[in-house]
Amino acid sequence: MSDDDSAVARERVIESMEQSAEVYGLSRSAGRIYGVLYFASDPLSIPELVEETGYAKSTVSNVTRTLSRIGLIHRRSSEGGGRRVRFEAEREVWFILQDVFQQYIQREVQTTLRTIRRAEEQVLAETREQERVRNLRETYEDLEEIVQLASEYSAAELREALETYER
Amino acid sequence: MSDDDSAVARERVIESMEQSAEVYGLSRSAGRIYGVLYFASDPLSIPELVEETGYAKSTVSNVTRTLSRIGLIHRRSSEGGGRRVRFEAEREVWFILQDVFQQYIQREVQTTLRTIRRAEEQVLAETREQERVRNLRETYEDLEEIVQLASEYSAAELREALETYER
DNA sequence: TGGTTTGTTCGGATTGAGCCGAACAAACAG
DNA sequence: CTGTTTGTTCGGCTCAATCCGAACAAACCA
């Protein structure tokens, strides 16, 4: 429970975020930068992030841009309208996961579904191919609906919906 | 609705699978090989897949191994116990997605949760850090439960569970 | 048996992602 | 105005993934 232990523990969590970042298709640096911001008491500027993470200024600049774009961190135009930019982590992790769901999964499912539907019209009727495409479509229609609904619920709601469901 | 249209439509769907493969962390070749097998009338051997996909024999060999390992395709030891191996696609797409869920997401969530819990014990009590870690843990506990339950349901069940839920 | 087909394994070429440092632009301080 | 701090952009380096071809091993065929 010392200060040191605390720092080590924090470091472990940040490493874990580096790991998770890869799963979400982000770089390890993105995971670390998010992690540092997640635990920071105040929003940090780019030089401060350079100091904390050891990454080059250019890397921090690029990564913060991507993270801002996808909503994992927020740009805080500093007080006084100065040039200095500060970044703050979005700490509602569920929001982030919802975003990933919407921007990533949902988009992927929808474009796939469009392709499948178009293909289903063009494929020869009464063939095995038609049946295969139809099966694909049906699963993806379920999937689209699931992803749509899941992205609207909070984590607690989603959990309850699944826990209380009686088959 | 000509034979040609049908072939084009099929090609489009396969291209879409190439795309999806990347999202699941697989190579484009894996997506194409799965796609070809998905539409094939019978299980295909490696030389046949080479013919259909244009990939080198070695590539097909390696990719089929990975796809078999993660359950997207199945090795059919050919009739007569000969050397010739044939592959068949797992066409229950939902099974595949469940597998991804279990092997990928669930595993990721669980290891992260372990790290977070350990960190929560080591972090200094009554600090901002502790609160942050606790929030993280609570979200991930919901997430673990959600993923666990979701992986047990069929697509239709999952859809119904969400559709019928009243907040 | 010798030749052919099938499948795996290896080294190497190519490509893209991630990160860095340097150059630049913009704001600020004195 | 001059020097400093901050942030972005650019080219280049490194490394890992992907894929290929060649060599090899194993089964089959005539």
User: Tens digit of pLDDT for each residue in B32-91?
Assistant: 999 999 999 999 999 999 999 999 999 999 999 999 999 999 999 765 555 689 999 999
| A43 and A9 both lie in a single domain | yes
Q: In terms of Cα–Cα distance, which of B69, B77, B134 is closest to B99?
A: B69
The nucleotides of chain D lying under 7 Å from a protein CB are 5-11, 17-23, 26-28
Domain that holds residue A23: 3-89
Q: What is the pLDDT of residue A70?
A: 92
| B11 and B80 both lie in a single domain | yes
SS3 A72: coil
Question: Under an 8 A CB cutoff, do B159 and A150 touch?
Answer: no
**How far does B161 lie from chain A, in Å, by closest CA?**
6
Q: State whether residue B133 sits within 8 Å of chain A by CB.
A: yes
The pair of three-digit structure tokens given for residue B54, joined into one six-digit string: 């244009």
| A84 and A100 both lie in a single domain | no
| B38 and B73 both lie in a single domain | yes
Q: Could you give the CA distance from residue A18 to residue A15 in angstroms, rounded to a whole number?
A: 5
At residue B134, does pLDDT exceed 80? yes
| B59 and B101 both lie in a single domain | no
Helix/strand number for chain A, H first, E second: 8, 2
At residue B112, does pLDDT exceed 60? yes
Q: Could you give the CA distance from residue B93 to residue B101 in angstroms, rounded to a whole number?
A: 12
The mean pLDDT value of chain B amounts to: 93
Contacts of A138 (CB under 8 A, 6+ apart): none
The pair of three-digit structure tokens given for residue B9, joined into one six-digit string: 């439509």
Number of C-beta neighbours around residue A5 at 10 A? 14
| A97 and A61 both lie in a single domain | no
Of the three residues A35, A65, A89, the one that is the final residue of a domain is A89
Q: State whether residue A7 sits within 8 Å of chain B by CB.
A: no
| B99 and B70 both lie in a single domain | no
Of the three residues A89, A112, A129, the one that is the final residue of a domain is A89
Q: Kind and range of the H or E element at A105?
A: none
Q: What is the pLDDT of residue A80?
A: 52
| B77 and B117 both lie in a single domain | no
Tell the burial category of B119 from Cβ atoms under 10 Å away from its Cβ (0-12, 13-18, 19+): buried
Residues of chain B contacting A159 with CB distance shorter than 8 Å: 142, 145-146, 149
pLDDT digits (tens, 9 = 90+) for B117-130: 999 999 999 999 99
Distance A64 CA to D3 C1' (A): 28
| A152 and A132 both lie in a single domain | yes
Smallest Cα–C1' distance to nucleotide D7: which residue has it? A61
Domain count, chain A: 2
Q: What is the pLDDT of residue B3?
A: 76
Q: Give me the residue from B112, B119, B167 closest to A157, CB to CB.
A: B167
Of the three residues A53, A71, A89, the one that is the final residue of a domain is A89
| A63 and A105 both lie in a single domain | no
Mutate one of A12, A99, A159 to test the B interface: name it (highest B CB count within 10 A): A159
At residue B28, does pLDDT exceed 80? yes
Q: State whether residue A155 sits within 8 Å of chain B by CB.
A: yes
Q: What is the pLDDT of residue A100?
A: 81
| A80 and A116 both lie in a single domain | no
Q: What is the pLDDT of residue B1?
A: 64
* Regions of chain A short of the pLDDT cut 50: none
* CATH code, domain carrying A36: 1.10.10.10
| A142 and A156 both lie in a single domain | yes
